[in-house]
A and B are shown apart, each in its own frame.
Chain A
């Protein structure tokens, strides 16, 4: 499965467009991470726990998108975009979407 965020796959020709596929996940942080983050809010600096959490969530959203693409018989997803939104306090939604295509 090829995943890119450009409209083409270099050196390959898109034979069929299968429409949009998407994957999302809503994650909440846990209390332990919150306490560390509270401390970091005084000293400043990177919140490693949050970085990992969001990275994991983004991978999951991407995996769900790829899964959906596989189900409709695609072998590549092009023009992928990510978006983040905060649903409630302390939770974030990660959303990935793209166009499923078949390449030769």
Chain B
């Protein structure tokens, strides 16, 4: 009985400390890389802007699977009793989406692209823990990279 409580509290503390550190670090790296790649524009437009006809088109994509930590899961579980915003999951999905877009941009830059159009984001939860709680989400970002044809 007592051991159960110790294990629970330890997991909670570990989840809080490491989860928070990991999230901070991840957001820092996301912001840095977003600045680095800001010249590569991404659009959700379906068609290329006028005058962009002389380009090579290629499909690029980036994906990431991110897991929520123990502390956040417990907080979200408590929160869903009273309802309302689950901020802990909001930040998880935001991280995942921004990371997926950044990876797509990296793939586009590798191909020498100048813009990515028709960007689509797809989200799926792949693992579900006990009681159907979402453990981790996968986000896949894909689009068409346009790069100038080498003359």
Contact (Cβ within 8 A) B144 A6: yes
Contact (Cβ within 8 A) B126 A86: yes
Taking A44-B15, A44-B18, A86-B126 as contacts, is the C-beta distance between A37 and B59 under 8 angstroms? no
Contact (Cβ within 8 A) B65 A44: no
In the complex, what residues of B have CB within 8 A of residue A41's CB?
67-70, 73, 129, 135-136
Q: Is A32 an interface residue (CB 8 A)?
A: no
Contacting B at CB under 8 A, from A72-104, are 80-86, 89-90, 92
- Which range contains the number of A residues in contact with the other chain? 35 or more
- B120 to chain A minimum Cβ distance, whole angstroms, is 7
In the complex, what residues of B have CB within 8 A of residue A89's CB?
128
Closest-by-CB residue of B relative to A53 is B65
On A, residues with C-beta under 8 Å from B are: 2-11, 37, 40-47, 50-51, 54-55, 58, 62, 80-86, 89-90, 92
